Structure 1
Amino acid sequence: MAIEARIRELDARHHRLDDMIDEEVKHPSSDSLRLSSLKKEKLKLKDEIQALKRKH
C-alpha cells in the first residue's frame, strides 16, 4: 500500500510540473533555464514512477 501512495504522490507532482511547464511556455519571455529544469525534474519523476510500478 505504501508504494501505491508514493506513486500517487509522485504522479500528482508530475501533473503539477506539467501545468507549470505549460504556464512557462505560454509567456513570450519564458525562462529557458527554468523550463529546462522543470522538464528534467518531470522526467526524473516519470522514471521514478515507472520504477515503482515495475516493483509493484
Structure 2
Amino acid sequence: MSLSSHLQELKKKHQSLSDAVEKAQASPGIDDLRVAELKKQKLRLKEEISKIEAQPAH
C-alpha cells in the first residue's frame, strides 16, 4: 500500500469514528466509557495522520 493510499484510509477511518462519536453522544443511553474509547481511537488516528503528513515527500 502506498503512503498516499494509507493516508486516505486513515482519514476515512477518522471520519467514520467522528460520525460514531456524534451518533453515540446523541443517543440517550450511551455508555460514557464507549464514547471516551471512540475519542481515544480518533485521537490516535489523528496523530498518525499528522506524522505522515509531516514527513517530507520523496
TM range (shorter): over 0.9
Q: Which has the larger radius of gyration?
A: 2
Q: Per-residue deviation at 1:5?
A: 0.7
Aligned pairs (5 A) from 1:26-45: 26-45=26-45
Q: TM-score, normalised by structure 1?
A: 0.93
* Identity between Structure 1 and Structure 2 (%): 34
1:43 partner letter: L
1:18 is aligned to 18
Q: Per-residue deviation at 1:3?
A: 1.0
1:27 partner letter: S
Greater RCO structure (CA 8 Å; 6+ sep): 1
Q: TM-score, normalised by structure 2?
A: 0.90
What do you get for the CA RMSD once the two structures are aligned? 1.2
Structure 1's unaligned 5+ residue stretches are none
Poorly superposed stretches of 4+, deviation over 2 Å = none
1:6 partner letter: H
Structure 2's unaligned 5+ residue stretches are none
Greater helix proportion: 1
